[in-house]
């Protein structure tokens, strides 16, 4: 009975970690989540709901809105950008009102939900680029958390024995792996 309770609590906690934040909900049940679809068919997707994310390249506060230039990364079902993936291109997201440039600084991870409305011509360096434009109705800035996992099964078994040699030897650098997790 205790094992079933522990498993139930664990599943509840894990399912809470993968849910889509309320700020990234859209009216459409299946919004566009792949920028390559937008780039390949810009006219066919105008006015449709999107949920896109990536790395902020620049932020500019205008009189009544904020303009974010975002290097798009694929997102999972919970809206988290995949930090291991290659960028898919860039898009512009307009947020209503003022967005603090500290919170929305270049290099931070963000996801936006809104509608596609046209495009803007700009430049990346000296290269002319056509940016799809998203008018965001919601957004989520993601924090990167590091988890270090020590995989030293041999040390675990040595500690279960009569002598606990692990305390004296410490862990070996080759035994550690770093996992990155995105959190709101």
Tally of residues, the chain: 184
Regarding whether 131 and 59 lie in a shared domain, the answer is: yes
Each residue of 91-149: pLDDT tens digit?
Answer: 999 999 999 999 999 999 999 999 999 999 999 999 999 999 999 999 999 998 877 76
16 has pLDDT over 50: no
In the chain the beta strands, taken as DSSP E runs, fall at 49-61, 65-73, 89-96, 109-124, 127-150, 176-183
Mean pLDDT rounded to a whole number for the chain: 83
Task: Look up the CATH number of the domain holding residue 99.
Answer: 2.40.50.140
User: Same structural domain for residues 103 and 179?
Assistant: no
In a domain, 30, yes or no: yes
The three-state secondary structure class of 40 is helix
What is the C-alpha separation between 171 and 129, in angstroms, rounded?
A: 49
Q: How far apart are CA 168 and CA 89, in angstroms?
A: 50
Which of 14-18, 30-34, 37-41, 122-126 shows the lowest per-residue confidence on average (mean pLDDT)?
14-18
If you search the block for the tokens 């989540």, which residue do you land on? Answer: 33
Whether residue 153 sits in one domain with residue 76: no
Is 12 a domain residue?
no
Domain span at 48:
21-142
Residue 67: how many other CB atoms lie within 10 Å: 16
Q: Say if residue 59 is in the same domain as residue 119.
A: yes
pLDDT at 65 over 70: yes
Looking at the fold, whether 67 and 138 belong to one and the same domain comes out as yes
Neighbours of 49 (CB within 10 A): 20
Token output for 73 = 């990364």
Report how many domains make up the chain. Answer: 2
Name the pTM for this structure: 0.75
Query: Do residue 69 and residue 95 come from a single domain?
Result: yes
Do residues 54 and 40 both lie within one domain?
A: yes
């Amino acid at each position: 009975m205790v094992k079933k309770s522990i498993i139930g609590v664990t599943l509840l906690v894990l399912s809470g970690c993968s849910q889509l934040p309320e700020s990234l909900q859209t009216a459409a049940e299946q919004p566009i989540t792949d920028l390559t679809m937008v780039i390949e068919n810009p006219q066919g997707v105008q006015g449709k709901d999107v949920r896109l994310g990536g790395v902020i390249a620049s932020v500019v506060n205008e009189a009544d809105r904020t303009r974010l230039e975002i290097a798009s990364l694929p997102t999972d079902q919970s809206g988290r950008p995949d930090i291991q993936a290659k960028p898919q291109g860039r898009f512009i997201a307009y947020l209503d009102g003022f967005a603090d440039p500290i919170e929305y600084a270049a290099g931070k991870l963000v996801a936006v939900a809104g509608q596609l409305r046209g495009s803007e011509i700009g430049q990346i360096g000296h290269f002319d680029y056509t940016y799809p434009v998203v008018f965001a109705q919601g957004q989520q800035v993601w924090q990167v958390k590091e988890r270090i996992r020590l995989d030293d099964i041999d040390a675990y078994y040595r500690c279960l024995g009569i002598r606990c040699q692990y305390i004296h030897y410490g862990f070996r650098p080759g035994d550690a792996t770093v996992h990155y997790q995105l959190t709101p």
